[in-house]
Structure 1
C-alpha cells in the first residue's frame, strides 16, 4: 500500500454568513502521518467534509496525486483512494464483523448483487479476513456489529475504510468517548496500521498527549484558517498556538 499526496488549495466554505473554512491551503506528503487540531468550531470536520465530497467548497481545489478531484461525488472520491471511517450502526448493524467488511468490499466494487446470493463470495471473504487480522478484529469475526463495544465499533469503522484500500485515510476523533486505557490501545493500533500500510493518514484529535506522541506533523486551525503547522515540538513552542489553544501546560512540558 502506497499513500497518496493530498493537496488543498485555497479551500473556502461558507454557510450563509458563516465562514467555516477560509483559504485553507495544506499539503500532505504521501505516506505521512498528520494531526489536525484546534478549538471547537475551528473548521476541522468541515475540512474533512470538503476533502471527501460530502459538501462542495465555495472556493478552492482538492488534488490527489496531482489530479483535481474537486466536485466529484463521494463514491468517485472513495474510488480515487480517499477513505473515511464509516458509521457502523447506520450501515450493517445486523451483520457480523466479517460480513460487514465483505459487504463494504462488494459495495465498493459495485457487486451489490452478491449481497443477496452466495454471500460472501470467496474473494471478498478472504480480503475481509486479511483486514480483520491487520486490525486485531479476528476474535470478533462472528460478533454482530451492533453488539460490539464502543471501542470495537470505532475499530470496525477504521477496518471498513481500510477494506477499500485507501491511499489517504481520514479519522475524525478516533478515540472520542473512550476511557484512558481504551484511548491508548486505539491509538497504538492506528499507529501500527499506519506503519504496516504506509497510507497517508490524517486524524483530528483533541487529546494533545496523543497528538504529540504519534503525529509527524501537526496543523492547527482557528476560526477556519490555518494558524500554524510544524512538527509536534514546533507546535508546542509556537506562541500563537499556546495563546490560542494549548495553554501553558503543554508548552512547559516541551522545555528540556
Structure 2
C-alpha cells in the first residue's frame, strides 16, 4: 500500500466564480496532513474534486503517479481514495455491523448476496475487524439512528476504512462535538492512521487540534494555496496570521 496523492493545477469554476484556483499540492505516502482556511476558501470543494463528486475544470489528480481525473466516483474509491463526510452518510435503520457488511459487499460487487444469508462469514469477519479498529465493537447491534453524534461519525469513518483506502479524506471529523468528545475523536483518528499506515488528510477549524497532530498544514484562501509547511512554519507565516489565524494562534 502506498498512497502518494498529487494535485496539479487543480481548478474548479462555476460559471464566472472560481472556487478552486490552480491548486498544486503533494501528499506523501503515510503522512497526516491538515487543510485549513476561512469559510469559503475551497476546502470541501477540493475534496469533491479529488473524489470525483465534482468534475474538474482544469488540472489533474494523480494517485501513485496515475491520473484519476474524470473517473467516476466508484472507480476512484476502487483505486484507493476513501472519504468520510462532515455530516455522516448512514442508513439509519441498519446496525453498525450490517452497515459495514453491506458496504463491504457492495464494494466487492456482491450485492446479489444481500438477498441470501447476511452477512456471509468472511464479510462478518472483515466487519468485526473494522469495528474493533474503530472502537465500535460494543455497538455492533445498535442501529445507526440510535448512535451518538460522535459514534455516527466514527461509523462513517469505519465505512470508508472498510474499503481499504490508500488515501483517506476526513471533512471536519470533530464538527458538532463538545471539547471532550472532539479530543476522543481525534485520538481515535490518530490511532487509525497509525494502524493502517494511511495517507490521511483532514479539514479542521479547531487550530488546537491541527497544530497538535498534523505533520503538515496546507492553508487555502479564495480557492488558492496561501501557504504550506509544518505547523510551526504555518503559525509563523505573517500572511496566514493576518488572513486566518489571528494573533492568538501565532508563535
- What TM-score range do you get, normalising by the shorter chain? over 0.9
CA-to-partner distance for each residue in 1:162-216, whole Å, 9 max, x for gaps? 0000000000000000000000000000001111111100000000000000000
Give me the TM-score of the superposition, normalised by structure 1. Answer: 0.96
Quote the residue 2:111 is aligned against. 112
Deviation at 1:3, TM superposition (A): 4.0
Quote the residue 1:221 is aligned against. 220
Is 1:205 aligned to 2:207, yes or no? no
Q: Distance in 2 between matches of 1:68 and 1:90?
A: 27
Quote the residue 1:27 is aligned against. 26
Q: Distance in 2 between matches of 1:193 and 1:90?
A: 20
Quote the residue 1:231 is aligned against. 230
Does the residue aligned with 2:56 lie in a helix, a strand or coil? coil
Deviation at 1:91, TM superposition (A): 4.0
Kept in 1, the 8 Å contact 2:35–2:204? The answer is: yes
Superposed, which structure 2 residues align to 1:45-84 within 5 Å? 45-84=44-83
Kept in 2, the 8 Å contact 1:6–1:28? The answer is: yes
Quote the residue 2:174 is aligned against. 175
Kept in 2, the 8 Å contact 1:218–1:230? The answer is: yes
Deviation at 1:48, TM superposition (A): 0.1
Deviation at 1:88, TM superposition (A): 8.2
Kept in 2, the 8 Å contact 1:216–1:231? The answer is: yes
Root-mean-square deviation (CA, aligned residues, Å) is: 1.2
Quote the residue 2:5 is aligned against. 6
CA-to-partner distance for each residue in 1:201-234, whole Å, 9 max, x for gaps? 0000000000000000000000000000000000
Deviation at 1:79, TM superposition (A): 0.1
Residues 214, 143 of structure 1: alpha-carbon distance in 2 compared, 3 angstrom cutoff: same
For structure 1, which runs of at least 5 residues remain unmatched after alignment? none
Q: Distance in 2 between matches of 1:29 and 1:65?
A: 10
Q: Distance in 1 between matches of 2:2 and 2:235?
A: 27
Residues 81, 141 of structure 1: alpha-carbon distance in 2 compared, 3 angstrom cutoff: same
Kept in 1, the 8 Å contact 2:38–2:244? The answer is: yes
Structure 1's consecutive aligned runs of 4 or more residues displaced over 6 angstroms after TM superposition are none
Give me the TM-score of the superposition, normalised by structure 2. Answer: 0.98
Does the residue aligned with 1:94 lie in a helix, a strand or coil? coil
Deviates more, 1:222-231 or 1:112-121: 112-121
Kept in 2, the 8 Å contact 1:88–1:153? The answer is: no
Superposed, which structure 2 residues align to 1:112-191 within 5 Å? 112-191=111-190
